[in-house]
Chain A
Amino acid sequence: MTELIIASIMTMMTAATPLVFAATGELVCEKSGVLNLGVEGMMLIGAVFGFAATAITGNAVLGLAAGGACGLAAALIFAVLTLTLLSNQVATGLALTIFGTGLSALVGLDYVGDTIDQIRRVHIPVLGDLPVVGRLLFGHDPLVYLGIAMLALTGWFLARTRWGMILRAVGDSDISAHAIGYPVIAIRYGAVAFGGAMAGLGGAYLSLVYTPLWAENMTAGRGWIALALVVFANWRPGRVLLGAVLFGGITILQLNAQAAGLGIPAAFMSMLPYIATIVVLVFISRDAIRIRLNAPACLGRPFRADR
């Protein structure tokens, strides 16, 4: 039984990692006051270009970098439209998702059925051989650790650095921040770009580590889950990890329940992750005061310097 629990937790961490990346990026983006709904599209772009780069160069690390870079590029399209051309953020985010889905499908056509050398777990001697703890703490693939590290770094940046504070100020009151003299638009560009890079990395993880394959629409809604996670986490980085593991966990749990022969109709078990997301959102959102404290006050509103 312990073996099953350990193994399940390991699988859950893998399932959580794309969510951790994407949610971390979106958290920073939203903290600066920009709502980017295009996470799904950026993840898919990261997945396909990451895969293509790896297939061409044979180097998975390059592939990951390419995935992040392309996610960033896609986010910049969004940034130009919403920050400079002042278009509606919700609509533009949706457009990015639709565009990303279409572009990735097109680019990916040449790569369906191909495979690459996936990034494997690294075995850490001594530490990795400890019973129980060995695998749980040291047995994951490198990107799981990178995801958690990025999350921790982001939390530290937002809470403890000057620029992190400025970013939060921009998200809370862009007009005041501008009055003080902070470059609101530039900061938001940076935040959006970071969000894109993270989403791209999360997507590349899917096609390089999770499965060494590309398939159309392979994110299967993870981008949207990541968006929900940011709300679930009340825009606090620590809770993002919890939410990601929970959500990744529910998906794995329902498969486990099926395999164990628990007898609940598979279709209903498959619905669990989505219903769970709604339920969690309800509970979180009820605490309106808490939300107002943490949510960036200017979320979603375009900023114009001379208003």
Chain B
Amino acid sequence: MRKTIRLAALALASAMTLAAGTVSADKLKVGFIYIGPPGDHGWTYAHDQGRLMIDNMLGDHVETTFVEGVPEGPDAERAIAKLAETGHKLIFTTSFGYMEPTLKVAKRFPDVKFEHATGYKQADNVATYSARFYEGRYVQGQIAAKISKSGIIGYIASFPIPEVVRGINAFMLGAQSINPDMKVKVVWVYTWFDPPKEADAAKVLMDQGADIITQHTDSTAALQAAAERGIYAFGQASDMIQFAQDTQLTAILDNWGPYYVKRTVDVLMGAWSSGDTWHGMGPGMVGMAPYTNMPSDIAMMARATAESIRTGAFHPFTGPIYNQAGELVVKAGEVAADFPMLATMNFYVQGVDDKLPE
């Protein structure tokens, strides 16, 4: 995938350089709306890395701007509109809560293209995109089951939205594939980024016997709290190894860059069209950080699982899958459908000891 993009970018660059002699090409302005600060080393950081890839590969023809810390709601509409008004022709809105504002602004600016992350509504000039993080969670689950001695995982969850629930389920399925009796304790912190709270959650989970910590929140606090007690943990959204050199096992990497560059090239070549993109390890949108702090045979197993997911040989949500009530929701040998099951997942698989809000 990366090779194709590099070739396309190169081809485009050469074409434009030739054309530049005759026509003065104004740089394409690409805008980004971030929900947090790029320095969070988590969600927003990963998106910003994607933006930087656009700068690196297409810098001669593209100029990027970002607005950070934009709260979801009415302020978002204004910020997005401001980008549209100031000549940005491609705008990435990187949080679910920007959905309605993006659609509203898109109506007012039909010749601007919008890309909304993790959303589910499209329009002629609004595309949606997301990543199959759950693929990484499955691999993590397997690693956790192999390494854990207490058989208890501590899971720090943010909000009970389908993406998070999917992650918990995939993690459990991966763990259960090694040890059917794995337990997972879930704590909902109702925030994406609150280091003291995340640290508290990690401590509480460890107090209750968890000896592996994983999170669906964005800071490194939980990882570091675990490291302080010598407990293994997984990083989130970016490789957090420098924060826990002896205890990070791996991390799920959000790799938005290739997709961002592709869409930018599409706009430059006039070939952009709306749609929904949900890529996983296959196209390289999800990656795993190097497997560290574990015996080499477990690392090899993890690599093998990841590879089989990447090639499409294996799907984490392959049946038989039972829900908490014991009902069979995916038949043996079948794969859970993207729609509606995976995309709107709001049930737990059997073995998760928690209740989701109605």
| Docked complex Cα distance between A210 and B219 (Å) | 13
Which chain B residues border A261 with CB–CB below 8 Å? Answer: 185, 353-355
From B41, B195, B355, name the one whose CB has the most chain A CB atoms within 10 angstroms: B195
Which chain A residues border B200 with CB–CB below 8 Å? Answer: 11, 15, 251-252, 255
Say yes or no: A259 contacts B194, CB within 8 Å. no
Say yes or no: A7 contacts B196, CB within 8 Å. no
List the one stretch of A84-92, A213-221, A224-232, A237-245 in contact with chain B: A213-221
Q: Select which of B45, B187, B243 is within 8 A of A259 by beta carbon.
A: B187
| Docked complex Cα distance between A255 and B199 (Å) | 11
Q: Interface digits, B347-358 against A, CB 8 Å rule (1 contact, 0 not)?
A: 000000111010
Which chain B residues border A115 with CB–CB below 8 Å? Answer: 220, 224, 242-243
Say yes or no: A255 contacts B185, CB within 8 Å. no
Known contacts A206-B196, A218-B194: does B353 contact A211 (CB below 8 Å)?
no
Say yes or no: B199 contacts A211, CB within 8 Å. yes
| Docked complex Cα distance between A111 and B185 (Å) | 32
Say yes or no: B39 contacts A112, CB within 8 Å. yes
Say yes or no: B37 contacts A118, CB within 8 Å. no
B314 within 8 A of partner (CB): no
| Docked complex Cα distance between A215 and B208 (Å) | 27
- The residue on B at minimum CB distance from A265 is B357
Which size bracket describes the interface of A in this complex? 35 or more
B186 within 8 A of partner (CB): yes
Q: List residues 206-231 of chain B with CB under 8 A from any CB of chain A.
A: 206-210, 219-221, 224-225, 228
B68 CB → nearest A CB, Å: 9
B155 CB → nearest A CB, Å: 9
Q: Select which of A114, A210, A270 is within 8 A of B199 by beta carbon.
A: A210
A contacts with B: majority SS = helix
Known contacts A11-B200, A258-B186, A258-B187: does B221 contact A213 (CB below 8 Å)?
yes
Q: Interface digits, B161-188 against A, CB 8 Å rule (1 contact, 0 not)?
A: 0000000000000000000000001111
Known contacts A120-B228, A211-B195, A270-B190: does B39 contact A113 (CB below 8 Å)?
yes
B292 CB → nearest A CB, Å: 17
| Docked complex Cα distance between A109 and B185 (Å) | 34
Q: List residues 102-157 of chain B with CB under 8 A from any CB of chain A.
A: 154
A242 CB → nearest B CB, Å: 20
Q: Select which of A113, A212, A259, A266 is within 8 A of B190 by beta carbon.
A: A266
B201 within 8 A of partner (CB): yes
B157 CB → nearest A CB, Å: 9
A260 within 8 A of partner (CB): yes
| Docked complex Cα distance between A267 and B187 (Å) | 11
Say yes or no: B39 contacts A260, CB within 8 Å. no
B310 CB → nearest A CB, Å: 29
Which chain A residues border B285 with CB–CB below 8 Å? Answer: none
Which chain A residues border B194 with CB–CB below 8 Å? Answer: 215, 218, 220
A285 within 8 A of partner (CB): no
Say yes or no: B207 contacts A8, CB within 8 Å. yes
Known contacts A215-B219, A258-B188: does B197 contact A113 (CB below 8 Å)?
no
Q: Select which of A218, A220, A260 is within 8 A of B208 by beta carbon.
A: A260
A176 within 8 A of partner (CB): no
- The residue on A at minimum CB distance from B205 is A259
B27 CB → nearest A CB, Å: 27
Which 7 interchain pairs have the tightest Cβ spacing?
Answer: A112-B39, A7-B207, A113-B41, A113-B39, A266-B188, A211-B221, A211-B195
Binding site for A on B (CB under 8 A): 37, 39-41, 45, 154, 185-190, 193-201, 203-210, 219-221, 224-225, 228, 242-243, 353-355, 357
Inter-chain pairs besides A14-B203, A251-B200, 16 sampled, C-beta below 8 Å: A4-B207, A4-B208, A8-B204, A8-B207, A11-B200, A109-B37, A112-B39, A112-B40, A210-B196, A211-B225, A215-B219, A218-B195, A255-B201, A259-B187, A259-B204, A261-B354
24 contacts between A and B (CB under 8 A): A4-B207, A7-B207, A8-B204, A11-B207, A15-B200, A109-B37, A110-B39, A113-B39, A113-B40, A113-B41, A114-B39, A211-B196, A211-B198, A213-B220, A215-B195, A215-B219, A218-B195, A220-B197, A255-B200, A259-B185, A259-B204, A260-B185, A261-B185, A261-B354
